[in-house]
Structure 1
Amino acid sequence: MSLVEVLPLAIVMVAGPQILSPIFLATSEQWRANSLAYVFGAALSISLVVFVAYLLGNSFGGGGGLLGASAREVLFVVVLVLLLYAAVETYRKRNVSEPPEWMGKLTTATPGFSLKLGFLLLGVFPTDVVTSVSVGTYLAANGDPVTDAAGFVLLTLFILSLPSLSVFLLGERAEAALPGIRDWMNDNSWIISEAVIAIFLVLTLQNLLG
């Protein structure tokens, strides 16, 4: 059940510049190499943060853990705090209607830059770090294997790949549609993120209280 529970958080991961960047890269001069490099960088950082959070969660919640019998409850409290932070941060930035100026330069980006961008946006951006840590800690608190995070990571990467996949499959039609999709997501993605965070908050509370 834990795999199904963490999958929706992939939506939170890509909201904001994380999905806007691959839209720009999909129309860049080296769009195939750039898009692949971006997704690969994202895969490295997401997997690393989830794995480290999972290991830390297990070190606190194991049989001889540092927090004793209440370790599981404390881990769920940590998840709740992280999710509340993500919700507040998402709401605080809801009125940022224009993408950063540096995004306009992504049409001439190089694969090396795209790799670094994917790694940093998905591994250092506050809401993404919080979300990945929440997933790793949540799985540790439930005693589930870290491999249950694979679906979360893969779904996140698939969403990030959609702009380049659409260009590959649809060509100029996709290139014409992407700017409109980019603007809609820039204006409304925070609402979707808040809804997903709220659902995960409820699930975490159920585990904590039940």
Structure 2
Amino acid sequence: MHLEILPLAITMMAGPQIMSAIILVTTRQPVRVSLAFLAGVFVATLVGVAITRGIFALVGSAVSFDHSGNKGSVGLIVQYALVAALIALAVKNFVRRETIEPPTWLARLMEATPRKALLTGLLVILLMPSDIMVMLTVGAHLEQVDAGLGSALPFVGLTVLVAATPLLALVLFHRHAAHAMPRVREWMNSHAWVINVVTCLIFIALIV
């Protein structure tokens, strides 16, 4: 897998995804629920990439994401459409920044069980539009270079590592992290629009 694909793993966890991981380390069973969440992220990312790889294998060479290719290619049209949609979404988040709030289901994670954390890890990857776009990009790349699913393991592993950052901070810096994480969570709750805009801009930069 080309190195330019790996930064997409950061985008995979930007937004409610990393907020979920931070909330889970502030629960009464932070290690158990966080490990369950990471398991869900791993399975969802691997399955998602496998599905998108299969989709592009069926499509074949009809869609190319090669920047050096024909300017009128379907792949470039899709890229331009994605960039336009992301710009519109970023502008919308900025304009409505005073009213944007995190999803209500994030608050319910404070009482999450390992089973609920596992389900959350699966759903925040498989149902998030931004993650679906990332996995489509990775699947298209695998098809383009004729690589198997094993080539996506570095991307999957880095996604899980990013998701594990709050848990690793808790384990390595227990006392300081225990005090810092609730404040980080509160900041992210009150600045959800910033996270959304930054996520859009990162993804635009990676596409172009």
**Is the contact made by 2:27 and 2:111 (CA closer than 8 Å) also made in structure 1?**
yes
How far apart are the structure 2 equivalents of 1:106 and 1:10?
A: 23
Counterpart secondary structure, 1:98:
coil
Asked if residue 196 in structure 1 is aligned to residue 195 in structure 2, the reply is no
Q: Report the counterpart of residue 74 of structure 1 in structure 2.
A: 74
- Which residue type is aligned with residue 117 of structure 1? T
* CA deviation profile, 1:127-148 (whole Å, cap 9, x unmatched): 1112111211133124344333
> Measured at CA, do residues 124 and 83 of structure 1 come closer, stay the same or move farther in structure 2, by a change above 3 Å?
farther
> Measured at CA, do residues 75 and 47 of structure 1 come closer, stay the same or move farther in structure 2, by a change above 3 Å?
farther
Q: CA deviation at 1:77?
A: 4.3
Q: CA deviation at 1:21?
A: 0.7
Asked if residue 168 in structure 1 is aligned to residue 171 in structure 2, the reply is yes
Q: Which has the higher helix share?
A: 1
> What is the TM-score of this pair, normalised by structure 2?
0.80
Alignment of 1:1-210 (within 5 A): 2-61=1-60, 67=62, 71-72=63-64, 73-75=73-75, 77-78=77-78, 81-82=81-82, 84-93=84-93, 95=97, 97-182=100-185, 183=187, 186=192, 188-202=194-208
> What is the TM-score of this pair, normalised by structure 1?
0.79
Aligned residues: 194
Question: Percent of counterpart pairs with the same letter?
Answer: 28
* CA deviation profile, 1:59-101 (whole Å, cap 9, x unmatched): 2226xxxx4xxx4353454455445545544553453653233
Q: CA deviation at 1:188?
A: 3.4
Uncovered stretches (5+) of structure 2, i.e. residues with no partner:
65-72
**Is the contact made by 1:11 and 1:193 (CA closer than 8 Å) also made in structure 2?**
no
> Measured at CA, do residues 168 and 103 of structure 1 come closer, stay the same or move farther in structure 2, by a change above 3 Å?
same
How well do the aligned residues superpose, as a CA RMSD in angstroms?
A: 2.5
Over 6 Å off, 4+ runs: none
* CA deviation profile, 1:136-177 (whole Å, cap 9, x unmatched): 113312434433322221111111111111111111210211
> Measured at CA, do residues 11 and 19 of structure 1 come closer, stay the same or move farther in structure 2, by a change above 3 Å?
same
Q: Report the counterpart of residue 69 of structure 2 in structure 1.
A: none
